Structure 1
Amino acid sequence: NEEVKTSMAQLYTERLLAGRTVEQVGADNISYRLATENVEAIFHLLNKLFSSIDYQKYPVRDEASVRAFAQVFFSGAGLNPIVEHHNSKGRSDLEVKVGARYWVFEFKVCNSENDGKELLTEAILQLQRKEYGLQELQEQILRVALIFSLEKRKFIEFAEV
């Protein structure tokens, strides 16, 4: 409902972004960008958003926190992300519908950059085997594997499946 969206947006700017707006951190109009831009542009958008987080107050520690921050960013943009969406073969990390597009995100977290390529392969195979998002009847389904480095504090790898 609108009240929850409003409070999520306030939390989003007041706490996570230390009072700055998404425009001020260079990640303006998330909904429009998800509706129109390619996977690489969204990879860079997410990195801008994650780089603006106060890591002392809100550290990214694991896959669950990556997923939670992405959920808050999308909710703050007025979207309705679905976390751990179940299908007959498993559950995806995060899914969100934007216009005619349906985004499916599979997140993995690595401790060092050396683990990134291996985890990317794992995430791609998981998206393929579990058929995340394919149960949706959308014009365009974008299934994305993203690898977040705890050491670098950013996404280091991505692939569209």
Structure 2
Amino acid sequence: SDSNREKSSLYLSLLNANLKEFEDTLKSIFSSIPYNNYSNNFIQNYEGFYATVTYVYLQSLGLEIIGEDVTNKGRIDLTVFIGDKIYIIEFKVNANKGEALKQIKKKNYAQKYLNKSSKIYLVGIEFDSKDKNIVNFEYEKLKS
């Protein structure tokens, strides 16, 4: 089924650090949410909506994840652990382009995981409430 194909593709994209495929699969997921779900409310204006959809989807894959991962400088929206990789993900809605990735770096969110022998990826994902989808997806590999 399409749903199973999407799930395995999302899982493999993270396992293999194929962030373009991760972005494309997330876009596809958000595109498939029925228009009626947005009627008579403003859910698309809230970062928590996008974070929750992503969180639940990744959790359904059996991934180890932490939502609202607390650090000494703030909270990481989502931390994902898979294989030898850690993804530090920040979500923003209607933000200035690049703001999500900038926040991860400015608040040094990755510092919490520097003692691990993992590859760390910083991922900024920005949504537009009119498009109800990703409008900017940026990432950086922190260390090998």
Partner of 1:140: 119
Q: In structure 2, how many angstroms separate the alpha carbons of the residues matched to 1:130 and 1:47? A: 27
The one-letter code sitting in structure 2 at the alignment partner of 1:152 is: D
Gaps of 5+ in 2: none
* Letter matched to residue 159 of structure 1: E
Question: What is the CA-CA distance between 1:21 and the residue it aligns to?
Answer: 5.0
Instruction: Please show how residues 33-44 of structure 1 align to structure 2 within 5 Å.
Output: 33-44=13-24
Question: Shift of the alpha carbon at 1:27?
Answer: 1.8
Q: Alpha carbon RMSD of aligned pairs, Å?
A: 2.0
Aligned pairs for 1:1-161 within 5 A: 22-23=3-4, 27-29=6-8, 30-57=10-37, 60-110=44-94, 118=96, 120-136=97-113, 137-161=116-140
**In the superposition, relative to structure 1, how do residues 55 and 133 fare at CA in structure 2: closer, same or farther (>3 Å)?**
farther
Q: Which has the higher strand share?
A: 2
Quote how far apart the aligned CAs of 1:122 are: 2.1
Q: Secondary structure at the match of 2:29?
A: helix
* 1:102–1:138 contact (8 Å) kept in structure 2: no
Q: Which runs of 5+ in 1 are unaligned?
A: 1-19
C-alpha distance in structure 1 between counterparts of 2:56 and 2:7, whole Å: 15
2-side partners of 1:135 and 1:92: how far apart? 10
Higher RCO (CA 8 Å, separation ≥ 6 residues): 1
